[in-house]
Amino acid sequence: MSEDLTPADFEADGDEGNANIDKLLAEIQSLKEQTLRYAAEAENTKRRAERETNDARAYAITKFARDLLGVADNFDRALASVPGDVDGPAKNFVVGVEMTAKALQGAFESNGLKKIDPPKGEKFDPHKHQAMMEQPGTDVEPGGVIQVLQPGYELLGRLVRPAMVVVAAKVAGAPKPEGGGGSNPYASGEDAGEQGGSVDTRA
């Protein structure tokens, strides 16, 4: 003979069922949050890997580009030393050198290597410039660039070589340190002996 059930028994079963449902819903919510967290972490890992791969591909030519800067410097020095009255076959030679120098700069730019050649009067930027000396500047504001001794270059926004510049002294008659001699208030990097700030050394 079956056991008789009372209304209280049904109420007890209903409370237990509701508790189980609430527990299952809480577990589902927890699993959903965990899944979303894992998905976000996987997406971040994917993006980081893509960024590192793109950086490695983009900056793989850094060392090669730095080695070619000497060639560009020699072209600049050669053209700067050409007298203004060149004529005849020598003029054709100079034109050829100019065209070759422009072609080299074009190759630089097409590969993301940009020349840093600040105009006279531009404010000194320790992230892109290296002050080699100070001079009183009558027509340049203190802290402005008076002359570029050697242009700098940056590869896709990353500094390869700072531009070496002469800066207008902030105080009349200020000392004019050259190279590593003395304290240079415009020196970038950890000390005045370094060429600029964040020079990339990864090849």
**What is the predicted pLDDT for the residue at 62?**
86
Structure tokens at 63: 């060392």
Indicate whether 179 pLDDT > 60.
no
| pTM listed for this prediction | 0.58
The Cα 106–Cα 75 span in angstroms is 14
Q: CA torsion angle for 102, 196, 54, 38 (degrees, to 10)? A: -160
pLDDT digits (tens, 9 = 90+) for 119-153: 998 999 999 999 999 988 778 889 999 999 999 99
pLDDT digits (tens, 9 = 90+) for 57-73: 777 888 888 889 999 99
The topology under which CATH files domain 114-203 is: Nucleotide Exchange Factor Grpe; Chain A, domain 2 (2.30.22)
Indicate whether 177 pLDDT > 60.
no
Confidence bin at 107 (pLDDT 50/70/90): very high
**What is the predicted pLDDT for the residue at 18?**
78
**What is the predicted pLDDT for the residue at 74?**
93
- CA-based nearest residue to 137, from 105, 181, 98, 173: 173
pLDDT digits (tens, 9 = 90+) for 3-32: 555 555 555 556 676 778 888 888 899 999
- CA-based nearest residue to 146, from 110, 174, 109, 121: 121
Indicate whether 110 pLDDT > 60.
yes
User: 10 Å Cβ neighbour count for 61?
Assistant: 17
Structural contact between residues 174 and 131, judged by C-beta atoms closer than 8 angstroms: no
